[in-house]
Amino acid sequence: MLSRFLNVGTNWFGLLMIVRLGEDALATTTLITAVFTPVQIGCWSIFVAVSVISARSIVKKQYAYCAALLRQATLLAPVIALPMVILLYYVAPLLSLAGQPAHLIPPCSDYLKIIALSLIPSLFCINAQQFLYGIGKPRLALLFSTLTSITILTLTYLFIHGSYGFPNLGINALALANVIAYSTTFLVIVLFFYFSPLLKAFPLWQKPKSREKKIRQKILKIGLPISGQSCAELSALSFAVFMMGHFGPHALAAQQIVTQCSIIAMLIPLGIAHSVSIFVSQAKGQGYLPHQLRTAGYIGTAMALALMLKISFIYLFYHQHLLKLYTNQPLADEIGQLAQLFFIINAFTLLANCIRTVMAGFLRGLYETKLTMLNSIFCYWGIALPIGALLAFSTGIGPLGLRYAMLGALLIASWLLFKRFLLLTQYPHQQHASSIQ
């Protein structure tokens, strides 16, 4: 979970430095997040399959298979990333078509062209980290995440205002910092994997064999639905941001404040869900049946809810302190009022999403990835967006309509996945009785 905090939280702190450049910078980062986050997380999510598969293989001491898994994931990374890099280079016309404020598009486009260069090295780093999670060496993954985070934050601080003789890059500071940090970490990972005695049992440096094609197919079979789930969710959130843009820069700025805080908060259930998925995958590799693993789902959900309740309490009663993180100057009245209302709605949204996230992690450990993807597509694109658009533009509720619709959709999504969890983890005699009925 700490690695996830570092991977995503680092950019949050970087953006926190950027938004202090002014309200236009705050609105620009909203568009940047809406475009880049689905691309980045969508690509990264495919390779979550590496940890899930290697976790099941390592308990059987299949060291050669785990090594082949990492090799094939590394070969897949640039193939998946290159189309996304091209998309980021030519995103400006798409933002214009989406009706975004014209003065925000050039700085957003410049930023995305730079940070696109970080995508391929970041995928190499994520592959290595997922491999380390799966084989039971999460501290090494945390070490590499820490290196990346320290580099990004240090360079962003130096570049954002041109401190100590460094060039003044403004909002592009974070983009360049990502490129340098992930490239550096990748080189360190290569050297470590080559020389470290901790990984000698894994024949990582063998030439890929033709029979490893099945491993590549397995990565895609499990990983693409995971990516599809992430893309469905994040692209829906991005589409909601574009709809929010129709209400002006103030609505975008309020959206960005709450979204950035929520990203950090959601790392808690995401980290727990990832731990649950690896635990369940390892248990399946050891021969445990799904009904013997139900307790793991309950414990993971209880842990996540306990932590998220504290954050929801802060959102409800101390949101004014969160607003002060983003600027030393008083926010425009409209931004402050909208952000406070968004925080209150989001306090309940986080709890609903918490259950859904942990249940999805449990099902992922059983390789049930297609169902979670379909769940996200249905609830985000079938419920949240159309109802949100109706509430926002046809009923006069405005920006709040998008938030209310998202809350309702996540409640339904959580209920559906929890029902699936209960069905899969029934005792065999209960499943037989259910089938008869």
Please count the residues of the chain.
437
Distance CA 371, CA 236 (A): 18
Q: Please count the helices (runs of H) and the strands (runs of E) in the chain.
A: 18, 0
DSSP annotation string for 344-376: HHHHHHHHHHHHHHHHHHHHHHTT-HHHHHHHH
The residue with tokens 């249905």 is 378
**Residue 200: what are its φ and ψ, rounded to 5°?**
-65, -25
Cα 29 to Cα 23: distance, rounded to the nearest angstrom? 10
* Phi, psi values for residue 125, rounded to 5°: -65, -45
pLDDT attached to residue 433: 47
pLDDT for the residue numbered 106 = 87
C-alpha 210/C-alpha 228 separation (Å) is 27
With contact defined as beta carbons under 8 Å apart, do 364 and 277 qualify? yes
Angle 348-304-11 from CA coordinates, rounded to 5° = 80
246-251-253 Cα angle (round to 5) = 125
Residue 402 has pLDDT above 70, yes or no: yes
Burial 43-57, CB ≥16 within 10 A → b, else e: bbbbbbbbbbbbbbb
- pLDDT the model gives residue 15: 67
CB 171 within 8 A of CB 18: yes
What is the rounded average pLDDT for all residues in the chain? Answer: 85
Nearest-5° Cα angle at 327, 321 to 329: 100
CA dihedral 384, 385, 388, 393 (to 10 degrees): -170
Q: How confident is the model at residue 436 (pLDDT cuts 50, 70, 90)?
A: very low
Give CA–CA dist 166/168, Å, rounded.
6
Residue 376: closest CA among 339, 346, 417? 417
pLDDT in tens, 31-77: 887 788 888 888 988 999 999 899 889 988 899 999 999 999 999 99
157, 271, 305, 339 from 352: Cα distances, Å: 36, 16, 9, 20
In 87-147, the DSSP E strands lie at none
For residue range 92-138, list pLDDT tens digits in order.
Answer: 888 788 777 778 888 888 999 999 999 999 999 999 999 999 998 98
CA distance 315 to 320: 9
Element (H, E) at 24: helix 23-46
Angstrom CA distances, 116 to 35, 82, 179, stand at 11, 9, 8
**Lowest mean pLDDT: which of 328-337, 345-354, 361-370, 418-427?**
328-337
Rounded distance, CA 123 to CA 392, Å?
A: 37
Are 60 and 74 in contact by the 8 Å Cβ rule? The answer is no
pLDDT digits (tens, 9 = 90+) for 271-319: 889 889 988 988 888 887 777 788 888 999 999 999 999 999 988 888 7
201/198 Cα distance (integer angstroms): 8
Q: Which amino acid is at 272?
A: I
Please compute, for residue 258, the number of CA atoms within 13 A of its CA located in the half-sphere on the CB side.
Answer: 31
Mind listing the pLDDT tens digit for each residue in 344-392?
999 999 999 999 999 999 998 888 889 999 999 999 999 999 999 999 8
The pTM score is 0.80
